[in-house]
């Protein structure tokens, strides 16, 4: 075991040297995403269908509540579906300046993401939902622009991505536990996981209206929805295990074979695609190519860096919307698009 670990470490080091030697592409600073009050801490953020940032903030003392987890004796730590105690949060929309601030009282979800809905409504979705004979945790809440709860429902467990399209439909991508079952879902005693297809589209009132045809897809089923991009009403995904690039347009699925593994974000413009991220040493790699002849044909491999050439911090949030990658690090909002494909000299 020790020999195997040492071999892997050496491979990773060699690959990282290769990535560090790649041509560098610089992200553009777009705006700052700052809290509604100085003492607020950002809990989560995402990108809406118009390219706006939507963020949720709480007091520093309440961050632990909405990131609550349970550690089993001698075992691993598992995220809790519910907050350790109800919190007050504020939701801000930035386009790029602040356009709205909404206060949410008594928020009980944990490990959630956020999206804007039509009529200035707000959607919060928790990553986990535990099933029990008393019923599953309702991990989706729709709020009005005044912070009133309009609807609650279950979108399933093991949620990796939530993006709303231009018509208000909600696209949910699931990671492996949401696909195969955990937290009481699946055999031996639970119902089939709601995320069994790997990708589901819900209506604005939280009803499922479309599932990815995993059993019949010529590109293989979704075991883990690694990357998701919603452009208008069209969905793009790159998923485990074979990492095809797949487009879903009005229910029609089209795909391209792909050899780039582990990408966490995707941007698409016409027949061009860009895959960001990867395993281990490839975490800040960008691979660009064309979607042609049923394959993603790589035309360039780069490394994304900050203005000035510094590395992207490890916790940078990266989300693709249409042809643009949005990157949020600290209070800085960066963007990168296909028009930025002019590599800088390395070093």
Domain that holds residue 310: 15-32+221-347
Which residues does 141 contact at the CB level (< 8 Å), separation at least 6?
A: 109, 123, 124, 125, 149, 151, 152
> From the first residue on, what is the mean pLDDT of each consecutive set of 10 residues in the chain (347 residues)?
77 86 96 97 98 98 96 83 98 98 98 98 98 96 98 98 98 98 94 98 97 96 98 98 97 98 98 97 97 97 97 96 98 97 70
Residue 209 lies in a domain: no
End-to-end CA distance of the chain: 37
Gap between the Cα atoms of 79 and 66, Å rounded: 10
Contact between residue 202 and residue 211 where contact means Cβ atoms under 8 Å apart: no
Residue 7 lies in a domain: no
SS (H, E, C) 318-329: EEEECCEEEEEE
HSE of 335 in the Cβ direction (CA atoms, 13 Å)? 15
- Does any domain span residue 327? yes
132 assigned to some structural domain:
no
The span from the CA of 179 to the CA of 157, in Å, is 8
pLDDT at residue 106 in the model: 97
Cβ neighbours of residue 125 closer than 8 Å, sequence gap 6 or more: 109, 112, 113, 114, 115, 139, 140, 141, 155, 159, 162, 172
**Dihedral (Cα; 79, 171, 107, 73), 10-degree rounding:** -10
**Which bin fits 299, alpha (ψ -120 to 50), beta or left (φ > 0)?**
alpha
For the beta sheet containing 252-256, the strands, ordered from the edge strand earlier in sequence to the opposite edge, are: 224-231, 234-240, 245-249, 252-256
Amino acid 16: pLDDT:
84
Q: Does residue 122 sit in helix, strand or coil?
A: strand
Number of domains in the chain: 1
Residue 59 near residue 19, CB atoms below 8 Å: no
Question: Given this model, what pLDDT does residue 345 score?
Answer: 64
Instruction: Tell me what pLDDT residue 5 has.
Output: 78
**In a domain? residue 268:** yes
pLDDT at residue 1 in the model: 60
100 falls within a domain: no
pTM for this predicted structure: 0.95
Domain for residue 107, yes or no? no
Q: Count other Cβ atoms within 10 Å, centred on residue 69.
A: 14
* Two structure tokens written together for 29: 């600073």
Measured CA to CA, the distance from residue 334 to residue 279 in angstroms comes to 22
- For residue 343, the 8-state DSSP code is P
Verify cis geometry, omega within 30 degrees of 0, for the bond prior to 34: no
- SS3 (DSSP) at 69: strand
pLDDT of 128 reads 98
Residue 117 falls inside a structural domain? no
Distance CA 2, CA 322 (A): 44
Pairing of strands 272-276, 285-292: antiparallel
| Alpha helices, H only, the chain | 2-20, 63-66, 176-180
**Strand 24-26 to strand 295-305: parallel, antiparallel, or no bridges (unpaired)?**
parallel
């Amino acid at each position: 075991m020790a020999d195997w670990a040492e071999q892997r470490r050496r491979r990773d080091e060699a690959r990282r040297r290769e990535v560090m030697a790649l041509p560098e592409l610089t992200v553009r600073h777009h705006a700052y995403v700052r809290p509604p009050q100085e003492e607020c801490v950002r809990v989560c953020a995402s990108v809406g269908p118009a390219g706006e940032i939507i963020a949720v903030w709480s007091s520093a003392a309440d961050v632990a509540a909405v990131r609550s987890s349970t550690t089993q004796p001698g075992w691993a730590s598992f995220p809790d579906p519910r907050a350790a105690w109800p919190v007050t949060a504020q939701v801000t929309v930035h386009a790029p300046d602040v356009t709205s601030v909404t206060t949410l009282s008594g928020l009980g979800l944990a490990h959630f993401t956020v999206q804007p809905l039509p009529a200035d409504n707000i959607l919060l979705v928790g990553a986990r939902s535990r099933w029990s004979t008393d019923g599953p945790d309702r991990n989706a809440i729709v709020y009005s622009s005044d912070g009133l709860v309009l609807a609650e429902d279950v979108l399933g467990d093991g949620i990796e991505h939530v993006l709303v399209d231009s018509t208000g439909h909600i696209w949910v991508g699931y990671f492996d536990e949401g696909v195969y079952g955990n937290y009481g879902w699946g055999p031996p005693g639970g119902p089939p996981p709601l995320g069994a297809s790997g990708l589901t589209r819900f209506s604005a009132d939280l009803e499922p209206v479309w599932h990815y045809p995993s059993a019949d897809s010529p590109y293989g089923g979704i075991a883990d929805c690694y990357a998701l991009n919603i452009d208008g009403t069209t969905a793009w995904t790159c998923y485990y295990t074979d990492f095809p690039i797949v487009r879903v347009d009005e229910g029609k699925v089209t795909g391209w074979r792909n050899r780039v593994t582990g990408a966490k974000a995707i941007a698409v413009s016409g027949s061009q695609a860009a895959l960001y991220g990867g395993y281990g040493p490839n975490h800040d790699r960008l691979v660009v190519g064309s979607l042609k002849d049923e394959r993603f044909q790589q035309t360039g491999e780069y490394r994304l860096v900050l203005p000035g050439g510094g590395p992207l911090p490890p916790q940078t949030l990266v989300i693709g919307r249409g042809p643009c990658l949005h990157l949020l690090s600290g209070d800085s909002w960066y963007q990168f698009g296909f028009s930025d494909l002019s590599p800088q000299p390395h070093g």
